[in-house]
Structure 1
Amino acid sequence: MNDRTAALQASPSAAIRHQLGYPVIDTDVHTNDYTPALEDYVANYGGVGLVDALRRASGARRNATLRDGRDWYEQTPEERQQNRTIRLPWWARVTRNTLDVATYHLPALLYERQAEQGSDYSVLFPNNALAALAAGDDRQALQRAINHYHADLYRPFADHLTPVAGIPLHTPQEGIEELEFAVKTLGLKVINISGGVRRPIRALAEKYPPGQYPDIAKHASYIDFYGIDSEYDYDPFWAKVVELGVPVTTHYGSQGWTGRSSISNYMYNHIGHFADASEAFAKALFFGGVTRRFPALRVALLEGGAAWGANVYIHLADRFAKRSREGLRHYDPRETDRKLLLELFKKYGGSLTKGRELEGEALIRATLGSSYTSDARQPAAHELEDFAAAGIETLEDIRSRWVDNFYFGSESDDRTIAAAFNDRANPLGAKINAIYSSDVGHWDVPDLTEALAESWQLVEQGVISETDFKAYVFDNPYRLYTQANPGFFKGTAVERALAGKL
């Protein structure tokens, strides 16, 4: 027995894959760049200045250092308290499993171990995929170099592996430029974006110019989620995404946001932060009407689980029943029968009113408040309904513009995935598009041979059915990629597996 055969027999995930009658598609595998090779490539691509930009960007962490450059570990507890220096991720990579450490750095080894992983096809997220976003004016040039490096690095293994293309979206135009280059020139098939762009609050930036007040500028900002209340029109970018047939992915995080800014505890900041950030991004696309205008847009929101997708879907349906244009009639100040209200107060409220004025709008002011009086400024017609831009008229509209467009990356041990497949609780009997996102390469997966087997335990424990498991590891991921691009799996192991099955 050779080492390869022994490794396959020892892999619990390989054993699970062997008993399945369909391929397994892993939508979230994290790889690490071998830094000297990446830097050499970037230097040849754009010069040593671009390497310096890469190093600065790779080391950049918002609110992680003081102005003198000292990071969290170099600050005293008193300084952390004084400056609110948040505790950032630490020990986030696998180290003890040395074989896996090598695997995440060496494409040929990862390719060789796909069967041990139990996967037929993996979408890769190299650790520097979006490093360029912190590179300032060098952002686009550096992003292009990094994308080109990953395209060249993984091209020999394209039947099993494909890396994402990082796309900067500070403006729609730069996004379009890098998207076209990544797809048309490099042949990349999936894009990865940040779920939002941090921008200065203009009123504060004018009063406190960032160059003069960098400490204030670090905090005096907001996040533009592209779909609602943006300073830019991102529709041309979404249109180009659909035209080129690429699914959008994001691992956007919220560590450092209010409520996730502990100065001492990483887990306090970590739990739920991907879900919160992705929820903000997805709701912006929904309420901004992006999923209405681009029904073919496919977006994967990774590492946050699928339960939040079900929760938001349920809340959208429940709130629409109360806050649609028809539902709002229950709360319209003009709908109050003032004559009846006055009669009831006169009949039953004598001990409360004690001779106080009740005529005219006085009773309205005393009960509902001054904002409900007839002379108060009320929302104009175009301000009345929060669901208007999304074009929601029925529950079916909500289902099509939330459930159809969004896919939710769930890790192998995520028991909350049960909410995604709970068609009794989800409106209109819908099932949320949970997709298998093993997250191998990060600290939550100490052994890449165990993730798929860990997911199968959800079936053995009755958390999900075998049908749901198939949807999770194959049907939903397959639909995500092929609805965006019907030829996505042409020439891959997935196409071969399906042909063999048929």
Structure 2
Amino acid sequence: MPTAEPAAPRLAHPVVDADGHIVEALPVLTDVIRKVAGDHAADHFLGSSATYASRSGTDRLTALTGDQRRLGAWIAPWWSLPGDTLDRATAFLPGLLYDRMDAIGLDFTVLYPSVGLVAAGHPDAGIRTGACRGINTYLADLTAGLGDRMTAAAVIPTHTPDEALAELDHAVGTLGFKAVLLNNVVARTEPQPWYDVLALDSLHDYDPVWQRCTDLGVAVAVHAPTMGIGLRGSSTRYAYNHIGTFAAGGEAFAKALVFGGVAHRFPRLNFAFLEGGATWGVQLAADLAGHFDKRGGPNIAGLDPARIDPDLWADLFARHGGPSLAEPGLAAALRGQADNPPPELDDFRDSGIREAADIARLFDGFYFGCEADDPLVAWAYDNPLGVTLKPVLGSDIGHWDVTDMRHVVHEAYELVERGHLTADRFRAFTCDDPIRLHGRMNPEFFVGTPVAEYAAGLLADG
């Protein structure tokens, strides 16, 4: 058992965990998938990923044998669960977490699936949708009766809008979920291998999905790793692949939401980019402002080669070109170099951005999941842009990142003790913005919980 620790910091406000985890019991989950989706989905799903295989030799889990390392094939996560006995059991048992909530220092937590990331990304449609349906059924059963302190998030497959809509309706309408996790990076194979980020240049129109989330009152939370994509594909070092993986997936989706106009067209819809921190959000806001200033709206006209004065251009080449650039007609040809525009010139045409200040308006619906030991949360509040982002505490309890669940709130509060966050900003990080993330979508989200009165007052104030 863990050694005794001092109680969590005394705070004048609740602590709401925007991103904890349940670790699914795979033998039981397999039975549930078999019941709701049939033998094919059950028999083929769990063996599709080495992440949840085992070298322990039990026949209740998929066996992993031999050395999986192979040049050109990325190494899957391994030893990804807590090393402490009590914490590891807590990851599997929401009822145990429920009993430990006060000791951990959390008033309420939103728990996301672990195997769900594998399910939502499975390339086979029947296995993918069946596994997601099974996971959601499993999570609903496992957390029944615990809703005053926690809620699980349903996993929503997104290879097509239709499958997303079907599972949204079932998870929220039939099973009663209040939170959802969408797959935001879909691997496609046609017409060639590529990654679809749903909100820009997609194979499908996902506006019906964003509208359904708005109508159902659920925030769009995303958590897609990018391990194995591009330069994050080491065959021997999991840590190499893991560092930055959720930030990269979140940034790709956030950029798509802006350039594809989703954030502009659905101003009531909140988005949560989990486990990636907030520093990439600061960088994205800066890059959007810088690119808009040079290339957005009417500003792109300043780069049109037609603006070049042909006489001055020719004179400059004649006087300064020297023998190597004195070839007749060369100056005229170079005047058109890189004159290669697409039919539509304004990359920001769908974004709703008409001036740099509009970026802050779009970011008002963006929430950035930061773990308790993230030392850079303060950058979301103090940055040269003068833009305040919305970091939200994501404990990540249930995974290897948390070495002792009782330390989560302590670690987060060190930002205050070290002078990086004020008490008001700590309140926003650990309480107010996690409440706004879900409560602005669904004012009833926290009814019946220990934070109900606080949440009602906060949401009434806007």
Query: TM over 0.5, yes or no?
Result: yes
Distance 1:404 1:89, change over 3 A: same
Task: Name the SS of the counterpart of 2:357 in structure 1.
Answer: helix
Aligned partner (choices 192, 196, 201) of residue 229 of structure 1: 201
Q: Give the 3-state SS of the residue equivalent to 1:195 in structure 2.
A: coil
TM-score, normalised relative to structure 1: 0.83
Q: TM-score, normalised by structure 2?
A: 0.90
Cα distance in structure 2, aligned partners of 1:226 and 1:273:
18
The yes-or-no answer on 1:417 pairing with 2:373 is no
Equivalent position of 1:211 in the other structure: none
Say if 1:482 and 1:109 are closer, same or farther in 2 by CA, change over 3 A: same
In structure 1, distance between residues paired with 2:211 and 2:217: 10
- State the 1:144 CA deviation: 1.7
Contact 1:307 1:418 survives alignment (8 Å): no
Matched, 1:390 2:351: yes
Alignment partners' CA distance in 2, 1:186 and 1:408:
27
Summarize the Cα distance change of 1:76–1:290 in structure 2 as closer, same or farther, 3 Å threshold: closer
Q: CA deviation at 1:326?
A: 2.7
Match of 2:332 among 356, 364, 381: 364
Q: Larger helix proportion, structure 1 or 2? A: 1
2:51, 2:77 within 8 Å by CA — same for their partners in 1? no
Aligned counterparts of 2:32 and 2:248: Cα–Cα separation in 1: 36
Structure index of larger Rg: 1
**CA RMSD, 1 decimal:** 2.7
The code of the aligned residue for 1:112 comes to: D
SS of structure 2 residue aligned to 1:162: strand
Which residues of 2 match residues 71-86 of structure 1 at below 5 A?
A: 74-75=66-67, 80-81=70-71, 84-86=72-74
Q: Show the counterpart of 2:135.
A: 146
AA at the equivalent of 1:393: R
Q: 1:128 to 1:269 in 2, by over 3 A?
A: closer
Q: Is the contact made by 1:168 and 1:175 (CA closer than 8 Å) also made in structure 2?
A: yes
Q: Please, which runs of 5 or more residues in structure 1 have no aligned partner?
A: 62-69, 205-220
- Residue in 1 aligned with 2:218? 246
The answer to whether the Cα contact below 8 Å between 2:372 and 2:412 also exists between their aligned partners in 1 is: yes
Partner of 1:470: 427
Q: Distance in 2 between matches of 1:119 and 1:249?
A: 20
Q: Name the aligned partner's letter for residue 66 of structure 2.
A: E
Equivalent in the alignment of 1:112:
99
Counterpart of 1:404 in structure 2 is 364
Paired residues for 1:84-95 under 5 Å = 84-95=72-83
Measured in 2, the distance between the counterparts of 1:74 and 1:497 equals 54
Which amino acid is 2:420 matched to? V
Q: What SS does structure 2 have at the residue aligned with 1:157?
A: coil
Of 135-144 and 438-447, the range deviating more from structure 2: 135-144
Q: Distance in 1 between matches of 2:39 and 2:315?
A: 82
Q: What amino acid is aligned across from residue 27 of structure 2 in structure 1?
A: P
- Equivalent pair of 1:364/1:370 in contact (CA under 8 Å): no
Q: Deviation at 1:314? A: 1.0
In the TM superposition, residue 201 of structure 1 has moved relative to its aligned partner by 3.2
Deviation at 1:467, TM superposition (A): 1.7
2:320 — aligned with what?
349
Residues 435 and 455 in structure 2, CA contact (< 8 A), matched pair in contact too: no
The offset of 1:333, in angstroms, is 0.6
Q: Greater CA deviation, 261-270 or 473-482?
A: 261-270
* Structure 1 SS opposite 2:272: strand
| Structure 1 SS opposite 2:405 | coil
Question: Deviation of residue 33 (structure 1)?
Answer: 2.1
Q: In the alignment, which residue of structure 2 is the partner of 1:320? A: 292
Q: Distance in 1 between matches of 2:189 and 2:457?
A: 55
Q: Give 1:156's aligned residue.
A: 145
**CA-to-partner distance for each residue in 1:190-222, whole Å, 9 max, x for gaps?**
1101121111131x5xxxxxxxxxxxxxxxx11
Alpha-carbon distance between aligned partners in 1 of 2:178 and 2:394, rounded to the nearest angstrom: 17
Number of residue pairs the alignment of both structures matches: 448
Determine if contact 2:41/2:126 at 8 Å carries over to the other structure. no
Kindly indicate whether the alpha-carbon contact (under 8 Å) linking 1:227 and 1:290 is maintained by their aligned counterparts in 2: yes
Deviation by residue 1:333-354 (Cα, 9 ceiling, x = unmatched): 10001112223333x3274468
Number of the residue aligned with 2:59: none
Question: Contact 1:151–1:163 at 8 Å: present in 2 too?
Answer: yes
Is 1:484 aligned to 2:447, yes or no? Answer: no
From 302, 306, 312, give the equivalent of 1:330.
302
Cα 1:415/1:60, change in 2 over 3 Å? closer
1:137 has 2:100 as partner: no
CA deviation after TM superposition for structure 1 residue 140, in Å: 2.1
Name the SS for the 2:369 alignment partner: strand
